[in-house]
Structure 1
């Protein structure tokens, strides 16, 4: 699943599980559970930030 969000210029793809620790760039907290991320850079946001 892919979305376009105003917070980032690349499309964001659904990430169910991260293979390494990730930090949400929206709330600056460690990612817990699923999130959305960019395949072109290291931009990750958790679902709560996208609401």
Structure 2
């Protein structure tokens, strides 16, 4: 039987950040959006413990 190989993105999950850090990320998104006139989304990830490779 074939064993499923993990995809690269399976190694990471969304980072568990406190509300102050999330607010700082949103403020930085807004600053970048204002300077570039482009929609920007910053994403914080951390290595997953369930599927280390």
The structure with more helix, counted as a fraction of residues: 2
In which range does the TM-score fall when normalised by the shorter chain? Answer: under 0.3
TM-score of the superposed pair, with normalisation by structure 1: 0.22
Which structure is richer in relative contact order (CA contacts within 8 A, separation 6 or more)? 2
Greater Rg, structure 1 or structure 2?
2
TM-score, normalised to structure 2, is 0.22
